[in-house]
Amino acid sequence: MRIVLGVGAGIAAYKSCELLRLLTESGHNVRVVPTPDALRFVGEATWAALSGEPVSSGVWDDVHDVPHVRLGQTADLVMVAPATADLLARVAAGMSGDLLTAVLLTARCPVVFAPAMHTEMWQHPATQANVSVLRDRGAVVLDPAIGRLTGPDTGPGRLPEPAELFAVALRVLARGAGGLAADLTGRRVLVSAGGTREELDPVRFIGNWSSGRQGYALARAAAARGAKVTVVSANVALDDPAGADVVRVTSALQMRDAVIAAAAEADAVVMAAAVADYRPESRSDAKIKKTDASPPPLRLAQNPDILRELSRDRPRPGQVVVGFAAETGNLRANGQAKLAAKGCDLLVVNQVGGGLAFGTDDNEALILAADGAETAVPRGPKEVLSDVIWDLVASRLV
């Protein structure tokens, strides 16, 4: 694939060197187009050496090749990282004073912007208005990560990690120029991920094997399709998905509160987390000591059924609710029974064990719909299953 990597004039430009490496090492042909001021942060020689391609920033370079037109016309993807407030403003206004902005005017392929700037600049009404304009035009504009900025400042405005931006690029490329790369633009989606833990004492807990990989793959796929994504994440040791707002929880009760709060603004909710059915009836404030006597009995209390509650009490008309069911027996029979009991629109039923589902990069599933439709997804990367789920969700959104 032919990718144009645009680089704005921000200190986060150094992180795009790693993004470029990931793109080229995965076999893509990448042409780096920095703004003139971006070369103050990372020089032309670095971009040329890493990409193996010439680097230009001005419209007067190599005029005979008409790069300001040809690069945009032939690209399969244009990704701008970092996208500064100034660059977003110029692109939204349709200006073309340098090669990158000219390329963005001629590009007819998917375009992804990864903003990076100080919090105040990101939150300024002018920047938010420019972001809205670009999203309305079909571009994918990721929300920046929250974290350390330049100096002592911390807040929204950090460029997501290169590996997460790379994952977004792959998902957009997988959809293709003629696909629905931004079909969730303007939609708010909520994804739960990971596995809850129910504490016995300060040391021990009841838990499960969920790694959060499927939930995070769903979040990345939704962000790559233009959605504003919230992830309620339980005990996950993964980098935050690019473009997602991550809310961290530990227990099922905490997840229930966070999910119900976030669902109030969501057009779609996908409950991919493995939520404990039970919790200890009481928690010991001190570590339970091992003795020669028989261990004390473990009394359990039932946790709330978050999926059933969401399906029953939908805060928004037309909200689409998706559940997950990990099964070890008859997928169709068990799944149909659970679909009827939960009342959700779609239920993703997957077999666990044998190298599937928990803690793996692959998954396979049978997706059951309340209207009787069935979609079988063969074993493959969790990103592929994620796109199938969002295809089904998008077709049901009103």
> Domain holding 135: CATH number?
3.40.50.1950
Answer whether residue 329 shows pLDDT above 90: no
Which two tokens mark 139?
A: 């571009």
- Residue 398: pLDDT band by 50, 70, 90 thresholds? confident
- Which of 321, 325, 329 has its CA nearest to residue 365? 325
Residue 130 predicted with pLDDT over 90 = yes
- What phi and psi, each to the nearest 5 degrees, are found at residue 69? -105, -50
Determine contact, residues 359/209, Cβ cutoff 8 Å. Answer: yes
Burial environment of residue 293 by CB neighbours within 10 A (0 to 12, 13 to 18, 19 or more): exposed
Question: Residues 156, 234: one domain?
Answer: no
Q: Are residues 85 and 217 in the same domain?
A: no
If pLDDT is split at 50, 70 and 90, which confidence band does 70 have? Answer: confident
Give the pairing type, strands 300-302 and 278-280: antiparallel
Check whether 154 has a pLDDT greater than 80.
Answer: yes
Q: Is 181 part of any domain?
A: no
User: Do 205 and 139 fall into the same domain?
Assistant: no
Average pLDDT for 313-324: 95
Model confidence at 167: pLDDT above 80: yes
pLDDT of residue 134: 96
pLDDT value for 182 = 78
Same domain, 163 and 66: yes
Give residue 285's pLDDT: 93
User: Quick one: 128 and 227 in the same domain?
Assistant: no
pLDDT at 181 over 70: no
Residue 151 pLDDT: 81
Q: How confident is the model at residue 174 (pLDDT cuts 50, 70, 90)?
A: confident
The alpha carbon dihedral of 42, 48, 49, 53 has a sign of positive
| Domain contains 214 | yes
Calculate the CA 163 to chain-centre distance. 12
Q: Is the pLDDT of residue 356 over 70?
A: no
- Give the long-range contacts of residues 262-265, CB within 8 A, separation 24 or more: 262/190, 262/230, 262/232, 263/190, 263/310, 263/315, 263/319, 264/315, 264/316, 265/188, 265/316
Domain termination site, one of 147, 175, 203: 175
* Residue keyed to tokens 């299953």: 385
Task: Please indicate, yes or no, whether residues 147 and 249 belong to a single structural domain of this protein.
Answer: no
Predicted confidence (pLDDT) per residue in 86-127, tens digit: 999 999 999 999 999 999 999 999 999 999 999 999 999 999
Out of 191-195, 289-293, 367-371, least confident range: 289-293
Task: Verify that 82 and 227 share a domain, yes or no.
Answer: no
Residue span of the structural domain in which 287 resides: 188-396
Query: Does position 210 have pLDDT exceeding 80, yes or no?
Result: yes
* Rounded Cα–Cα distance for residues 137 and 267 (Å): 21
Q: Last residue of a domain, which of 120, 152, 175? A: 175
Of the listed ranges 69-83, 168-182, 310-324, the one predicted with least confidence:
168-182
In this prediction, residue 67 has a pLDDT band, given cuts at 50, 70 and 90, of: low
Mean pLDDT of 198-225: 94
Number of residues that make up the chain: 398
Which entry of 130, 208, 334, 350 is annotated as an active-site residue?
208
Number of domains in the chain: 2
Q: Does the residue 293 lie in any domain?
A: yes
Q: Is residue 270 part of a domain?
A: yes
| pLDDT > 90 fraction of the chain, expressed in percent and rounded | 81
Instruction: Kindly state whether residue 167 falls inside one of the protein's structural domains.
Output: yes
The model's confidence at residue 294, banded by pLDDT at 50, 70 and 90, is: confident
Q: Is the pLDDT of residue 65 over 60?
A: no
Residue 363 appears among annotated catalytic residues = no
> Do 61 and 127 reside in the same domain of the chain?
yes
pLDDT value of residue 61: 64
In a domain, 357, yes or no: yes
Name which of 29-43, 84-98, 163-177 the model is least confident about. Answer: 163-177
Condensed to tens digits (0 to 9), the pLDDT of residues 266-286 reads 999 999 999 999 999 999 999
Q: Are residues 20 and 110 in the same domain?
A: yes
Percent of the chain with pLDDT over 70: 94
Whether residue 58 is predicted with pLDDT greater than 90 in this model: the reply is no
Same domain, 170 and 198: no
Q: What is the CATH number of the domain that holds 263?
A: 3.40.50.10300
* Domain end marker among 135, 152, 175: 175
In terms of domains, do 197 and 298 share one?
A: yes
**Same domain for 40 and 159:** yes
pLDDT at residue 299 tops 80: yes
Is 332 contained in some domain?
Answer: yes
pLDDT at 260 over 60: yes
Mean pLDDT, rounded, for 7-20: 97
